[in-house]
Amino acid sequence: MSTVLSIADVERDTGLSKDTLRMWERRYGFPQPRRDALGERSYAPEQVEKLRLIRRLMDAGHRPGRLVPCPMDELRTLLGAGGPAQRAPGATAAAPSGPAAEGSDEVQGLIALLRSHDAAALRQALAVAQARHGLRGFVIEVVAPMARRVGEAWLHGELRIFEEHLFTECVQATLHAALGNLPAHAGRPRVLLATLPGEPHGLGLLMAQTVLSLEGCACMSLGTQVPLDDIVAATASWDAEVVALSVTGCQKRNLVLASLAQLRTLLPAGVALWVGGAAPALGRRALEGVLRVAALEEIPEAVQAWRSA
């Protein structure tokens, strides 16, 4: 990023509203935009980078009053300690760990296609990667590390939000097509997939559904932002044996924990509740009756444990 950005550009780039930017300017003395002859604000690249860091830390549950006065090095350290908070809005959901390195030539080649904005070429390359790795390997060894790389690039201003959305759309199209070609499974457990209210990111959910389907589970996905009562109603209507949720760092810790605790009380005792994803709240304490599935690679073990029990 070599030029200054207008306040509208910064709003689109960081997801922080114009009102928030102006309020922080008055209250904290940051950001400190330049003003032109008409009084219009413009923001230097280093200020926008700091705003990105602050936004990601806020998504992980930190308070702006603590973050805004911090120097960049301290913010980076804090973000690094949070790990999952480094993901972009749409890529965050998908970020279980995988064996492939984010810097692999294959992933870098896919990122280059993303930067070229050639959606058709990117979809074709994803299809080739899927054929090379097989569907399970494609999800774990290609999509998951690519999601992490896209999130890091967005964080550092190397990718714009529309490019992150393009990545998500192309990957989702590829995975939906692959799922459509799998034979219908009637195996157990019967898994209902959803995200909690206020959780807009569905890529991680789709990745989990793919791995569960490959394990022979019967799956039904309700998609994102499903009210708790509807999750419970769908569980009863479909005779689900497991409810699987994907949670990212965009929701506050207390809200995530309260929603999980409430859902656990609403579901029948015999229905398992599994949760995966990048939310920092998930790693801090165990919730009774909730199984934390921390990575895509752990799904087969969770399925086998359910069947054994």
What are 210-236's pLDDT values in tens digits?
Answer: 999 999 999 999 999 999 999 999 999
CATH of 190-308, one of 3.20.20.70, 3.40.50.280, 1.10.3720.10, 1.10.8.350: 3.40.50.280
Angle between helices 144-155 and 105-116 (to 10 degrees): 50
Least confident of 173-177, 259-263, 293-297: 293-297
CA–CA separation, 283 vs 53, rounded Å? Answer: 21
What are 157-215's pLDDT values in tens digits?
Answer: 778 888 888 999 999 999 999 999 888 777 899 999 999 998 888 999 999 999 999 99
The domain ranges of the chain are 5-82, 92-181, 190-308
- Report the run of H or E that residue 180 belongs to, with start and end: helix 161-181
Residue 251 predicted with pLDDT over 90: no
Whether domain 92-181 has CATH 1.10.1240.10:
yes
Residue 1 predicted with pLDDT over 70: no
Structure-token pair, residue 285: 């304490």
- Residue type for position 228: L
CA–CA separation, 79 vs 155, rounded Å? Answer: 11
Percent of the chain with pLDDT over 90: 47
Q: Is 176 helix (H, G, I), strand (E, B) or coil?
A: helix
* Residue 22: burial class (beta carbons within 10 Å; 0-12, 13-18, 19+): middle
Angle at the Cα of 195 (from 303 to 101), degrees rounded to 5?
65
Of 207, 85, 82, 83, nearest to 144 by C-alpha is 207
Q: Is 274 helix (H, G, I), strand (E, B) or coil?
A: strand
Cβ–Cβ under 8 Å, residues 271 and 241? yes
Would you say the pTM of this structure is higher than 0.75? no
Residue 100 predicted with pLDDT over 70: no
Q: Just give the CATH number of 5-82.
A: 1.10.1660.10
